[in-house]
Amino acid sequence: MIRVLVADDHAMFVRAISTLLAGEVDIEVVATAATGAEAVAASLQHRPDVVLMDLHMPDLNGIEATRQLTEAAPDVGVLVLTMFEDDDSVAAALRMGARGYLLKGARQEEIARAIRSVHAGDLIIGRQLARRMGALLAEQRPPTMLPFPELTERERDVLDRLASGLDNTAIGRLLFISEKTVRNYVTAIFSKLHVATRPEAIVLAREAGLGK
């Protein structure tokens, strides 16, 4: 049996994916987690073969949880299962040690096949993302040289403009994205930096040299 841990902060999704996987004769869900920190702790306790990891979770985001988990338990394969399909999220997850990346909405057979592939030591990317795989692997960005490595490149761009005093409308105009998209990025930034307000994020960003 392939032992699986499901890490996602949406209880209904966890139940749904657990029910889905219960129909596979060679896959067993042995534990669940609702935060990134719980995912790391539960993985070290239960030692699953594969962790299904969401990226946007409280406590600790999925990218940082993946980094900690792959360092502490390199035998555990991380398969990202998330709604985020932007290149930066894919690249960040793979750089932190994830062995696979699927989008929520993937069919049951695709998820099961990906779990088996990750368990076998293969790298698996969902069909929607496969076309961009070559470009992502070709990028060579040293994450340790950048402030806030837990942020994607686009999130860091937004934070940089935020630290320079721009509002969401101006940020969207500069980055050629909608104001709604900017708000979504700001929400993700707050979650990853563990801040609750815009001024708190600006202080952290300026201390790290952004906003100049």
Among candidate residues 210, 185, 198, the one with its CA nearest the CA of residue 89: 185
* 8-state DSSP, 99: S
Which tens digits make up the pLDDT trace of 52-75?
Answer: 999 989 889 999 999 999 999 999
Residue 151 located in a structural domain: yes
- CA distance linking residue 139 with residue 48, whole number of Å: 31
How high is the pLDDT of residue 75? 93
How high is the pLDDT of residue 134? 58
CATH of the domain at 75: 3.40.50.2300
Among candidate residues 92, 100, 196, the one with its CA nearest the CA of residue 148: 92
Percent of the chain topping pLDDT 70: 91
Reported as half-sphere exposure (CB side, CA atoms, 13 A), residue 81 has a value of: 28
Which tens digits make up the pLDDT trace of 163-186?
Answer: 999 999 999 998 889 999 999 999
Domain boundary among 120, 137, 154: 137
How high is the pLDDT of residue 97? 93
Percent of the chain topping pLDDT 90: 70
How high is the pLDDT of residue 132? 60
Does residue 143 surpass a pLDDT of 80? no
Does residue 141 surpass a pLDDT of 60? no
The answer to whether residues 23 and 71 belong to one domain is yes
Least confident stretch, 21-25, 35-39, 42-46, 125-129:
125-129
Rounded to 5°, the CA angle 2-109-73 comes to 30
How high is the pLDDT of residue 133? 61
Residue 158 located in a structural domain: yes
Which tens digits make up the pLDDT trace of 74-99?
Answer: 999 999 999 888 878 888 898 999 99
Domain boundary among 137, 152, 178: 137
Residue 114 located in a structural domain: yes
- CA distance linking residue 188 with residue 157, whole number of Å: 13
How high is the pLDDT of residue 135? 57
> Which range of residues forms the domain containing residue 198?
143-207
Number of domains in the chain: 2
The answer to whether residues 32 and 117 belong to one domain is yes
How high is the pLDDT of residue 91? 83
Which tens digits make up the pLDDT trace of 113-137?
Answer: 999 999 999 988 876 676 666 555 5
Domain boundary among 137, 155, 189: 137
| pTM for the whole structure | 0.62
The answer to whether residues 133 and 156 belong to one domain is no
